[in-house]
Amino acid sequence: MTSEDDRVVWGTLISVAAGLLVWTCMLVYDIKQDVKHIKKTLNDIEETLTPIEHIDDTAGLIRHMGETRVPDEPIFIIETNISSDAD
């Protein structure tokens, strides 16, 4: 026969062990989800960079990207009136 104190101690130890086991399982699950997300992101980056990894010059890169041209003029103009008359 075990005394009441022994049952309380064993119950406390089992509760703490079960809590740590649940916490560890949740932690491992979260880490696995993060690893899946990182792996997907790295695969997307590799898929994007693979076609251009052998292009060494800027002109070749521009030709590869579809003759993209940077406009000489700005795309939009922000006008501000900072004079003292604009109250």
Higher-scoring residue by pLDDT: 3, 72: 3
Any domain includes 55: yes
Which residue's entry shows tokens 């590799």? Answer: 46
Condensed to tens digits (0 to 9), the pLDDT of residues 15-50 reads 999 999 999 999 999 999 999 999 999 998 888 877
Question: What is the model's pTM?
Answer: 0.50
Any domain includes 51: yes
Domain interval for residue 48: 26-67
Residue 75, pLDDT score:
59
Any domain includes 30: yes
Any domain includes 2: no
CA distances from 9 to 3, 14, 17, 20 (A): 10, 9, 12, 17
CA distances from 50 to 6, 17, 43, 45, 59 (A): 65, 48, 10, 8, 18
Q: What percent of the chain has pLDDT over 90?
A: 40
Any domain includes 31: yes
Any domain includes 77: no
Any domain includes 37: yes
Helices marked H in the chain:
4-49, 58-64
Which residue's entry shows tokens 């119950």? Answer: 11
Q: Number of folded domains in the chain?
A: 1
